[in-house]
């Protein structure tokens, strides 16, 4: 399976949670050279530690969807050049080729995906996983801490 097919499989394997949408949106809208971790965290209403956990969850998603991934699994989707993070070219291509996901990221404020809000939004795929839409949900009280 080539890298583009792996990215598609990981993105479509299940709903995309708000923390991962935050990362994609921030990097999509950020400068081409990418964002440093503190900048990425600040744009996402997260502390640096929370952002590291969110990146770890992204790596877990890759590992769970592909079963085995050598090295740092989140690198399939997010490249780290020195101290800057940016979208992998294959992820950027996938977002651009999926109009509903691109619109969800482009047309909605970052606050819909913030960590410390009672209501948040996730991206749910349609039955054929050819597109989808944002769906609102309420976080549990313990998740807001």
How much is the pTM? 0.89
CA angle 103, 107, 110 (to 5 degrees): 115
Per-residue confidence (pLDDT) for residue 145, from 0 to 100: 52
Which segments of the chain have a pLDDT < 50? 144
**All residues at 6 or more sequence positions from 86 whose CB lies less than 8 Å from its CB, including other chains:** 27, 30, 32, 33, 34, 35, 78, 79
Per-residue confidence (pLDDT) for residue 112, from 0 to 100: 84
């Amino acid at each position: 399976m080539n890298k583009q097919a792996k990215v598609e499989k990981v993105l479509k394997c299940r709903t995309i949670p708000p923390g991962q949408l935050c990362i994609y949106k921030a990097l999509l809208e950020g400068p081409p050279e990418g964002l440093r971790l503190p900048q990425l965290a600040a744009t996402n209403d997260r502390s640096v530690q929370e952002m590291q956990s969110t990146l770890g969850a992204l790596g877990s998603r890759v590992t769970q969807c592909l079963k085995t991934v050598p090295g740092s699994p989140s690198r399939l989707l997010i490249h780290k050049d020195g101290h800057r993070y940016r979208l992998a070219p294959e992820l950027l291509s996938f977002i651009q080729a999926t109009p509903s996901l691109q619109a969800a990221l482009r047309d909605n404020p970052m606050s819909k995906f913030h960590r410390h809000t009672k209501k948040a939004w996730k991206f749910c795929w349609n039955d054929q996983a050819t597109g989808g839409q944002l769906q609102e949900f309420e976080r549990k009280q313990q998740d807001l801490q």
